[in-house]
Amino acid sequence: EAEYGPTFFDVRHNLVASASYELPIGSGRAIGSDWNTLTDALLGGWRVSGIFQARTGVPVTIIDGRNRSLQGERGFERPNCVGNWKPSDQSITKWLDINGFAMAPLGTFGDCPVGSARAPGYWNVDMMLGKKFNLASSARYFEFRVEAFNLFNHPNMGPPARDISAPNTFGLITTTIGAPRVIELVVKAYF
């Protein structure tokens, strides 16, 4: 029963929304249906799409690396929970409050459950702007796209340090999840 708790990949809330919109500009559209070929090639055939992702943080299991149970190395031992893990002034330099945990008495196992704290949440926006260039028929065309992954270059923080036997780093977040902004230029031929 002491090992019962949320798994490390338990995400309570997860939202993914995507949209794609072809602008009503160009040949056969509401705007520019009477344009000549050159004007249509420059201004028509644009499309925009995007994906938004947001989710809550994953569980964090607090550990104590001092082997208080005297059982030898049996994986990670946990401390006792004595208060709230979440500090009132929570930040990346103090995500967990060490005062919410205490070293278990010698020869015992701590009572903090698995996944007793949570890591920061995650959000990201990917966008694409594309232009279609028709060739001899509508079945054959080129597409030019600009794709931006992590459009806002938002840093998504990783889990905090969780070992109470290292008080200088406990609760400190030093990693990020995902990549920084990446922009790609793409040319595709459809035939």
- pLDDT by 10s per residue, the chain, length 191: 778 889 888 999 999 999 999 999 887 788 888 888 788 778 888 999 999 999 999 999 999 998 888 887 667 899 999 999 999 999 999 999 999 999 999 999 999 999 999 999 999 999 999 998 877 666 788 899 999 999 999 999 999 999 999 999 999 999 999 999 999 999 999 88
At 8, list the tokens.
């490390």
CA–CA dist 28, 40 (Å, integer): 10
Residue 74: per-residue pLDDT:
65
- Which regions of the chain does DSSP assign to beta strands (E)? 14-22, 46-55, 59-60, 80-81, 101-102, 117-118, 122-134, 141-149, 156-157, 176-177, 182-190
pLDDT value at position 3?
83
